[in-house]
Amino acid sequence: MGLTGLFAIGLATAVSAQDYQRPSVSGIGAVAQPEQIAAWDIDVRPDGLGLPVGKGTAEEGEELFADRCAQCHGDFGEGVDRWPVLTGGHDSLTEDRPEKTVGSYWPYSSTLFDYINRAMPYGDAKTLTPDEVYALSAYILAENEIVERDQELNQDNFAQIEMPNRANFFADDRAVSEAYTERCMSNCKAEAVNIVSAAPELDVTPEE
């Protein structure tokens, strides 16, 4: 097994033999090098922490989206066949069949950057530059009518984009809110329970 095969996290980053340090405790693996950690440390948080330097507009992203994303997500993010829909669905969240898209559902723009940057194009992840990810994100946001087509998005303004469904995400306060402090844990139903049907009678499990 070659030297690189020993690394606890195996990344393309080459580490020369003299940088290689044997950890003192277990004697196996190697101390992760700063470049290796940097390659893993790509998460982008809602407040924008982690956004790489770069910029892009929807106008710039349109052609790239057509080339690298549209075969699955459709030219306008409408989704081809059963691939995920990225646009539309606004005001559908209270319907019987809500359409949860980046535009209708996602609370933070940072998730869009992070997701594309780490996972798309599907099967060919991590092949986009930061400028391309900004431009593609801008295109999806513009198709959702959240930003203007010529609006430049960059590391300073990206996290400030207000997502339409943001307010519907809130901290779960059930443990402290008045309505839930007195919980019934036994004999909670006053009347006798009336069993109206049972799984075997309903024949929920098919014979074959």
- State the residues that interact with ligand HEC by CB under 6 A: 68-69, 71-73, 83-84, 86, 101-102, 112, 115-116, 120-123, 136
Peptide bond into 52 cis (omega under 30): no
**Contact 67/78 with Cβ under 8 angstroms?**
no
Pick 102 or 147: Cβ nearer ligand HEC: 102
Pick 32 or 116: Cβ nearer ligand HEC: 116
Q: Give the shortest CB-60-to-ligand HEC separation in angstroms.
A: 13
Q: Give the shortest CB-5-to-ligand HEC separation in angstroms.
A: 29
Residue with nearest beta carbon to ligand HEC = 69
Q: Give the shortest CB-195-to-ligand HEC separation in angstroms.
A: 39
**Euclidean distance between CA atoms 30 and 4, whole angstroms:** 9
Q: Give the shortest CB-8-to-ligand HEC separation in angstroms.
A: 26
**Contact 106/112 with Cβ under 8 angstroms?**
yes
Among 59, 66, 163, 53, residue whose Cα is nearest residue 109: 163
**Euclidean distance between CA atoms 187 and 49, whole angstroms:** 50
**Euclidean distance between CA atoms 194 and 187, whole angstroms:** 14
Pick 15 or 112: Cβ nearer ligand HEC: 112
Pick 27 or 123: Cβ nearer ligand HEC: 123
Pick 76 or 115: Cβ nearer ligand HEC: 115
Q: Give the shortest CB-29-to-ligand HEC separation in angstroms.
A: 30
Residue 30's CB is within 10 A of a number of other CB atoms, namely 18
Q: Provide φ and ψ at 73, rounded to 5°.
A: -95, 0
Q: Give the shortest CB-119-to-ligand HEC separation in angstroms.
A: 7
**Contact 134/56 with Cβ under 8 angstroms?**
yes
Residue 177 is encoded by which pair of tokens?
A: 């809110």
Give the gyration radius of the chain's Cα atoms. 25
Pick 145 or 173: Cβ nearer ligand HEC: 145
